């Protein structure tokens, strides 16, 4: 009997193995040969890679301190029936620090209300500037691949804040920007990836101030709005808070009355509204409203009592609900002097599992001051069917994220080019800027006042001495 031994591994098996590796590891295999690079760049492998990644939804950690960010991720703990163990420890995978070492950007805390937003694998920063005092610009970042892009900025002389959403039908990301105080025409929208990305006006009938982070669920962007300081229609006269529902595809607003301040989460593909009530020193009542139908405004309501003495702190916030039905909660701040925990609450068994997260300090510089921690649920299985190739979702060509200056949607990177300026006055008489700024010639002023003075100077030169006396 003859046994045939092959020295080579079938390509199908190679691809199966590679599809289970992290994106950074796959990127390194591009340098093996031109044939491998061609295979790894093929639509077939990208689709296979996303299919394998889809089975591993993750928790995304974004840690901010002194305007510097660190990104980590961790597979969602998928064993809901394990016995609670206070000794369970997990180490997340480090992705990158942002901004890169050669880009010293400053997050502008004064002009923008919320730090960052998340939608389908990308993180949005509403305002970052190269130096203190410079105009802030919006930035989109892929925390896994290291790619980022600077978006066209909107010049406003009032405070503003932005929200980030994704349209799964047209496969488009959009940024919604709102000025404060806001009026009916003070909302702007930008579609990413379109030629000559520009800010466009979008109508909103209700005056409100955004008071929560946004959450995008199945193409609808939700955030909490405060209407107490505005005169609106009778329907919302008695409502201090409303849930703002912005359809990313149609760019239309709807509003839902809410009884009080609340948190908004993704509850297994539906909007979840969270209310907290303190019962005793060691117990919290968690009331969860799940929006079953946006049009009819039909809700399912649940109430849970969370007990745990020292196991569960009162300052943890709800992150979302994973596919096992467990509610994930997280501490809001991290410091090197104290352990950092996330919690899994099982409503069926009424149990809480605490998991300690270690390893942040290796990449995130420790400090005595607490660092703000944002935790997002990354539902890759919800996104993969919308992105058969998904170059921006998992960039398999990036070998060193620190060397990558841009961009997710090349070549539409914001630059100060010689293009016409579209400038308007908003409803309050403030000038707004909606596109790329015209590059000024040496000695030419950028301000409206400066341009007017330069115009007068030219008139004097044309009219001569008599003309000069006439305008004096």
Q: Over the stretch 213-222, which tens digit does the pLDDT of each residue have?
A: 899 998 999 9
Please report the beta strands in 335-370, taking only residues with DSSP state E, as ranges in sequence order: 340-346, 351-357
CA–CA separation, 361 and 10 (whole Å) = 42
- Going by pLDDT thresholds of 50, 70 and 90, the confidence category of residue 234 is low
pLDDT in tens, 394-406: 333 333 333 233 3
Check whether 123 has a pLDDT greater than 60. Answer: yes
Higher pLDDT, 295 or 77: 295
CA–CA separation, 117 and 140 (whole Å) = 10
For residue 321, give every residue at least 6 positions away whose Cβ sits within 8 Å of its Cβ, in sequence order, or none: 265, 266, 267, 268, 272, 327, 328
pTM assigned to the model: 0.70
Mean pLDDT of all residues in the chain?
71
Q: Quick one: angle between helices 11-18 and 43-54, nearest 10?
A: 50
pLDDT in tens, 66-90: 778 889 998 876 554 455 555 588 9
Burial of 73 (0-12, 13-18, 19+ CB in 10 A): buried
CA–CA separation, 263 and 224 (whole Å) = 8
77-81, 213-217, 267-271, 362-366: least confidently modelled range: 77-81
CA–CA separation, 414 and 38 (whole Å) = 31
CA–CA separation, 198 and 184 (whole Å) = 20
Check whether 12 has a pLDDT greater than 70. Answer: yes
Q: How far is the first Cα of the chain from the last one, in angstroms, to the nearest whole number? A: 110
Q: How far is CA 175 from CA 105, 217, 376, 393, in A?
A: 20, 15, 18, 17
Q: What is the pLDDT of residue 173?
A: 92
Mean pLDDT of 268-294: 85
- Which residues on adjacent β-strands are paired with residue 352? 345
CA–CA separation, 273 and 294 (whole Å) = 13
Higher pLDDT, 262 or 107: 262
Q: What is the pLDDT of residue 420?
A: 35
**Ranked by mean pLDDT, which of 244-248, 389-393, 424-428 comes out on top?**
244-248
pLDDT in tens, 167-212: 988 888 999 988 766 665 678 999 987 777 788 999 888 888 888 8
> Could you tell me which CATH class the domain 57-81+91-334+360-403 is placed in?
mainly beta
72-81, 98-107, 128-137, 302-311: least confidently modelled range: 128-137
- Which residue ranges make up each domain of the chain? 11-46, 57-81+91-334+360-403
Q: Which sign, positive or negative, has the C-alpha torsion 373, 374, 375, 378? A: negative
């Amino acid at each position: 009997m003859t046994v045939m031994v092959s020295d080579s591994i079938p390509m199908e098996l190679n691809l199966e193995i590679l599809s289970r590796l992290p994106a950074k590891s796959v990127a390194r295999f591009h340098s093996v040969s031109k044939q491998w690079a061609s295979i790894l760049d093929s639509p077939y492998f990208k689709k296979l890679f996303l299919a394998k990644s889809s089975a591993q939804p993750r928790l995304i950690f974004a840690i901010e301190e002194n305007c510097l960010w660190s990104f980590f991720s961790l597979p969602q703990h998928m064993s809901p029936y394990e016995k609670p163990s206070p000794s369970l420890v997990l180490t997340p995978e480090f992705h990158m620090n942002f901004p890169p070492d050669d880009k010293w950007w400053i997050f502008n805390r004064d002009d923008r209300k919320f730090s960052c937003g998340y939608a389908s694998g990308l993180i949005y920063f509403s305002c970052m500037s190269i130096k203190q005092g410079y105009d802030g610009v919006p930035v989109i970042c892929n925390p896994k691949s290291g790619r980022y892009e600077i978006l066209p900025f909107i010049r406003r002389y009032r405070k503003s804040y932005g929200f980030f959403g994704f349209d799964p039908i047209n496969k488009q990301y959009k940024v919604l920007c709102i000025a404060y105080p806001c009026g009916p025409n003070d909302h702007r929208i930008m579609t990413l990836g379109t030629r000559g990305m520009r800010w466009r006006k979008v109508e909103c009938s209700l005056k409100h101030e955004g008071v929560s982070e946004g959450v995008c669920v199945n193409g609808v962007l939700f955030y909490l709005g405060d209407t107490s300081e505005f005169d609106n229609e009778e329907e919302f006269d008695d409502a201090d808070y409303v849930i703002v529902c912005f359809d990313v595809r149609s760019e239309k607003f709807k509003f839902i009355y809410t009884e009080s301040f609340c948190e908004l989460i993704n509850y297994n593909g539906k909007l979840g509204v969270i209310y907290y009530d303190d019962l005793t020193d060691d117990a919290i009542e968690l009331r969860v409203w799940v929006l079953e139908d946006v049009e009819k405004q039909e809700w399912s309501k649940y109430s849970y009592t969370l007990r745990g003495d020292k196991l569960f702190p009162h300052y943890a916030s709800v992150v979302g609900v994973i596919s096992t039905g467990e509610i994930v909660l997280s501490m809001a701040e991290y410091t090197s002097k104290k352990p950092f925990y996330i919690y899994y609450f099982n409503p069926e068994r009424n149990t809480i599992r605490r998991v300690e997260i270690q390893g942040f300090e290796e990449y995130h510089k420790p400090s005595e001051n607490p660092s703000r921690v944002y935790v997002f649920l990354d539902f890759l299985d919800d996104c993969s069917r919308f992105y058969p190739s998904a170059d921006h979702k998992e960039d398999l060509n990036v070998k060193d994220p620190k060397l990558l200056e841009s961009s997710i949607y090349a070549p539409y990177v914001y630059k100060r080019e010689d293009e016409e300026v579209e400038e308007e006055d908003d409803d309050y008489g403030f000038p707004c800027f909606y596109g790329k700024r015209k590059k000024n010639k040496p000695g030419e002023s950028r301000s409206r006042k400066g341009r007017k003075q330069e115009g007068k100077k030219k008139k004097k030169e044309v009219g001569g001495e008599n003309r000069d006396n006439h305008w004096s």
